[in-house]
Structure 1
């Protein structure tokens, strides 16, 4: 009985989470031949204030990026644009997962 644990930041729709669960189940079935009914998935959602890298929360990183985007030609704004573009290429549905730009 495979048990898959997935941790995500809050903000995905129920439809996105259902699609993720379905896709992961399918991948496990195909990869190891497990019957679909034996695949268990635990999905954990974290607030953006509960995820940090290098001592900085995701909420703070997003706030910094938004502030930099508000400054014309801001270096962080350009970096955020490049990250969004790269995520869009790597993950076609990334725009749905990323917060809307203001």
Structure 2
């Protein structure tokens, strides 16, 4: 990966499971040219690793607050991550 790629681990809470949040995230991330993954957690939250240019990550973080139709996001928490942890595409994982 190039030096201009960053990565962020994102924890999204609220009504984010059962509303196609992972499918929506994958489509949004691919549209922004991001790589990484998204998964449901046992506690009802969604976690995503997003990697790419700062501007694309910032836009994805803004979009997380809206989510797909039916979602109600109450929190988007981030922590730094290594771009080396991201796959070369964007995946839904379990």
Q: With CA pairs under 8 Å and 6+ residues apart, which has the higher RCO, 1 or 2?
A: 2
Q: Larger Rg: 1 or 2?
A: 1
Same fold (TM over 0.5): no
TM-score normalised by structure 2 residue count: 0.32
Q: Which has the higher helix share?
A: 1
